[in-house]
Amino acid sequence: MSIKIQHITKIYGQQKALHDVSAEIPANCITGLIGPNGAGKSTLMKIITGSIRQNAGEILINDQLISQNPIAFKSMIGYLPEHNPLYLNMYVKEYLLFAASLYPQCNKNKKERVSEMIELTGLTNESHKSIKKLSKGYRQRVGLAQALIHDPSIIILDEPTTGLDPNQIIEIRNLIQNISKNKTIILSTHIMQEVEAICDHTIIINKGSIILNDKTENIIHNKKMEDIFRELTLS
């Protein structure tokens, strides 16, 4: 599913987090949303998911306004926030069964869907543990399984590898690539190498405005992403 962002503005008090942002996110690929801390990445993702309301502008999915049927469109989106909000006292399988129960489309095959997600995300050996006993890498896997449990067409991942060790980062990147077939994925990060490693498309955002929106290979070919990022952080 394609996503169109049209003239989005978001203001918090006196601060303009997003200013007249417009972009098209292509269907069935991984789009990297990159920028310094405070650039507006998380705010834009929350608006797309419907978690917060914008002050102006519209989001369209497959050329249809989200605002006209927000509940239906939310059911098409899987979301992993930056701070993975897990119930630490629950067990992995118990938590995923709970997550599945929130979606009507999972009611008939809830247990089967949970089993599929446990296998897909590499949680088989951890599925009977309480979440508080898992490493951060495995907690991220639980968060991904939760985001995928209802088979969404759009998956939004906010800083999914933050705080992970190098091996865990590679594992999560591989997992994201494995689930990207026939899915539209938006991945936010402030790490250039992450975008170069797994993203087909790149949106660079700074101070609430989009600086570049193009295929990742085109951006890398025209200018080193390190140079672009250095210019943003110094501006």
pLDDT digits (tens, 9 = 90+) for 40-91: 999 999 999 988 999 999 999 988 888 888 888 888 999 999 888 899 999 9
Query: At CB < 8 A and 24+ separation, what contacts does 207-213 make?
Result: 207/19, 207/39, 207/40, 207/235, 208/10, 208/16, 208/17, 208/18, 208/19, 208/21, 208/39, 208/40, 209/18, 209/19, 209/20, 209/21, 209/40, 210/21, 210/22, 210/23, 211/35, 213/23, 213/24
| pLDDT tens string 152-179 | 999 999 988 888 888 888 888 888 888 8
Q: Report the CATH fold assignment for 1-76+154-162+187-235.
A: Rossmann fold (3.40.50)
**β-strands 184-189, 30-34 pairing:** parallel
Single pTM value for the model: 0.88
Q: Where are the domains of the chain?
A: 1-76+154-162+187-235
| pLDDT tens string 97-135 | 999 998 888 877 899 999 999 998 999 999 999 999 999
